[in-house]
C-alpha cells in the first residue's frame, strides 16, 4: 500500500497547505493516539523546533491526543534526537516532533518515535493513515487526557549527551564555535560543550520563529567558516534546525562534511574494529575506498536516514549516515543526533591529540558533478537503450576509479545525474555528456 501523507521522514510541507494545517493536525493527534498509545491510559511526549508555526501545531496535536484519551508531556523547543531520548526515558508510548528539519520557517512537519526511541515502520504509518479516514470519536469526558510541561527536559538531554563522551576525557583547551541555526539546539548544544570543558563561542542561537536555518547552520556554513578563522578557533560545529544533522569546520575554515565525519568516527582506534559502515547512493567514493583500506566494510543504502537505519539493522552494524551530516551512531543512541555525532569526533581529536584537519586527511574526497535534467512527463531510465548505453560507456571509461549514478528525484520531475571519480575534468565532461543524452532521450 502506498502512503497518503507520510514521506521518507514523517509528514512535511508548506504551512497552511494540506496536510500542514491545524485541522489536519487535530485529527492526526487523535489518530496517532489511538494507534501508538492505544487510547485511554496512554502517554506521549511532544517536542518542537523554534519555527513560529510550532505553537499552533502543538496546540492542535494536544487537542487531538487528549480527545483520544492520551496524556501528554510537553517538552517545548527540543532537538529531534532529544525527543527520541526523552520518549524512552520518560517511559512514554510514543513521541512526536514538530519540525521541518533544515527547511525554512514557512515549512513544518511531524515525525514520530516509538517508545524505544526508534522511528516508525511503514505498517504503523499506514495504520495511522487508516485511522485518519475514520470519523473522529471522543472518549468520555472522564477519560480525556491531560497535559503537563516537563520543566527539566533540556537538562536531562544535556546530561545524556555528556554521558556519551568518554569519562576519561574532557574538552579543556579547545576553542569551539558552534552554530545552532537559530533552531532547537540553541539552549542545549553550547551547554554540553561548555560543561565538558571547551571554550565556546555561539552563533545562530537567537531564534525568533522566523530565522531558523536562514543563512546559518549546516546548510549555510559560510558565517561559521568566517567566525572560526577570525577567532582563531580550533574548529566549528554547525547543526541544523532540529539538531539531527551536523557538519564541522576545521581551523583553516574548510568544511568537513558528513562523509568525512563518518570516516573519522569509523577510524577511531578501538578494541574491536568496526565490521562496516553504511552510506547512501550519494556517499563519496573516497570514503568507501578509505574505509576499505582499513579493512572496514561499506554498504550503500537509498538516500534518506530511514534507509540507512534499515541497512544498519539488517547487517548488525552501528555506524552510518549521509554527506549532509545526518549520522547514526547506534552504539550511542537510537537515531541521528548532531550533538552526539560531534562529540564522537571531538573525542577522537582529544584522544589522538590531532586536529580535525589531520583526522580527515586519511580520506581524499573524489570530485563529484551533479546535473539535473527536468522531465516534461513520465520517463523510464531503465527502458531507454540510448541512456543505458551512455551509462555503460561512461562506466567503462571510469573503470574502478569512479562511478555513475542516474536516479529520478523523489520530489520533483527531474532525473539526477551524478558522476564521481579521481579526475575532476573527466568527471565534469562525462556528466555533461550524460545530461545531453538524457535530454535527447527525454525529448524523443
Element (H, E) at 405: strand 402-408
Per the CB < 8 A criterion, the answer to whether 371 and 435 are in contact is yes
Which residues is 107 bridged to in the sheet? 14
Question: Other CB atoms closer than 10 Å to residue 76's CB: what's the count?
Answer: 17
- C-alpha–C-alpha distance, residues 375 and 372, integer Å: 10
Per the CB < 8 A criterion, the answer to whether 186 and 106 are in contact is no
Element (H, E) at 199: strand 199-203
The C-alpha cell of 378 is what? Answer: 513520465
Under the phi-then-psi rule, with left for phi > 0, alpha for psi from -120 to 50, and beta for the rest, what region is 176? beta
Tell me the pairing of strands 11-14 and 71-77.
unpaired
Question: Other CB atoms closer than 10 Å to residue 77's CB: what's the count?
Answer: 23
Per the CB < 8 A criterion, the answer to whether 417 and 387 are in contact is no
CA count, 13 A, side-chain hemisphere, 188: 31
Residue 110 φ then ψ, to 5°: -135, 130
**What positions carry a catalytic annotation?**
101
Tell me the pairing of strands 327-329 and 319-321.
antiparallel
Per the CB < 8 A criterion, the answer to whether 71 and 145 are in contact is yes
DSSP state, 399?
G
Per the CB < 8 A criterion, the answer to whether 113 and 95 are in contact is yes
Per the CB < 8 A criterion, the answer to whether 221 and 238 are in contact is yes
- C-alpha–C-alpha distance, residues 157 and 362, integer Å: 33
DSSP 322-357: -TTS-EEETTT-SS--HHHHHHHHHHHHHHHT--HH
Amino acid at each position: 500500500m502506498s502512503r497518503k501523507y507520510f514521506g521518507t521522514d514523517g509528514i512535511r510541507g508548506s504551512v497552511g497547505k494540506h496536510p500542514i494545517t491545524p485541522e489536519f493536525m487535530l485529527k492526526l493527534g487523535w489518530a496517532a493516539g489511538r494507534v501508538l498509545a492505544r487510547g485511554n491510559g496512554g502517554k506521549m511526549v511532544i517536542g518542537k523546533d523554534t519555527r513560529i508555526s510550532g505553537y499552533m501545531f502543538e496546540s492542535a496535536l494536544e487537542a487531538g491526543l487528549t480527545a483520544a484519551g492520551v496524556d501528554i508531556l510537553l517538552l517545548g523547543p527540543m532537538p529531534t534526537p532529544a525527543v527520541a531520548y526523552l520518549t524512552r526515558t520518560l517511559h512514554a508510548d510514543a513521541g512526536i516532533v514538530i519540525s521541518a528539519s533544515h527547511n525554512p520557517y514557512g515549512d513544518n512537519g511531524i515525525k514520530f518515535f516509538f517508545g524505544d526511541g526508534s522511528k516508525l515502520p511503514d505498517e504503523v504509518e499506514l495504520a495511522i493513515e487508516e485511522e485518519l479516514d475514520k470519523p473522529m470519536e471522543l472518549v468520555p469526558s472522564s477519560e480525556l487526557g491531560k497535559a503537563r510541561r516537563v520543566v527539566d527536559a533540556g537538562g536531562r538531554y544535556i546530561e545524556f549527551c555528556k554521558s556519551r563522551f568518554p569519562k576519561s576525557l574532557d574538552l579543556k583547551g579547545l576553542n569551539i564555535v558552534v552554530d545552532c541555526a537559530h533552531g532547537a539546539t540553541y539552549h542545549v548544544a553550547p551547554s554540553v560543550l561548555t560543561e565538558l570543558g571547551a571554550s565556546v563561542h555561539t552563533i545562530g542561537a537567537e531564534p525568533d520563529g522566523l530565522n531558523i536555518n536562514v543563512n546559518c547552520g549546516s546548510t549555510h556554513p559560510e558565517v561559521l567558516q568566517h567566525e572560526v578563522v577570525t577567532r582563531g578557533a580550533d574548529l566549528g560545529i554547525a547543526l541544523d534546525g532540529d539538531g539531527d544533522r551536523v557538519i564541522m569546520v576545521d581551523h583553516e575554515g574548510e568544511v568537513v562534511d558528513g562523509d568525512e565525519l563518518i570516516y573519522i568516527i569509523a577510524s577511531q582506534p578501538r578494541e574491536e574494529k568496526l565490521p562496516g559502515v553504511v552510506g547512501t547512493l550519494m556517499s563519496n567514493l573516497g570514503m568507501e575506498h578509505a574505509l576499505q583500506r582499513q579493512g572496514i566494510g561499506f554498504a550503500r543504502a537509498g538516500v534518506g536516514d530511514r534507509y540507512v537505519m534499515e541497512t544498519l539493522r539488517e547487517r548488525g552494524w552501528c555506524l552510518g549516515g549521509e554527506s549532509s551530516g545526518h549520522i547514526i551512531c547506534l552504539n550511542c543512541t537510537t537515531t541521528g543526533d548532531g550533538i552526539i555525532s560531534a562529540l564522537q569526533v571531538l573525542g577522537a581529536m582529544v584522544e589522538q591529540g590531532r586536529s580535525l584537519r589531520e583526522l580527515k586527511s586519511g580520506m581524499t574526497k573524489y570530485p563529484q558533478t551533479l546535473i539535473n535534467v527536468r522531465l516534461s512527463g513520465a520517463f523510464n531510465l531503465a527502458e531507454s537503450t540510448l541512456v543505458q548505453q551512455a551509462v555503460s560507456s561512461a562506466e567503462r571509461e571510469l573503470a574502478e576509479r569512479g562511478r555513475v549514478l542516474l536516479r529520478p528525484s523523489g520530489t520533483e520531475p527531474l532525473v539526477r545525474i551524478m558522476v564521481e571519480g579521481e579526475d575532476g575534468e573527466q568527471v565534469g565532461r562525462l556528466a555533461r555528456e550524460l545530461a545531453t543524452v538524457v535530454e535527447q532521450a527525454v525529448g524523443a
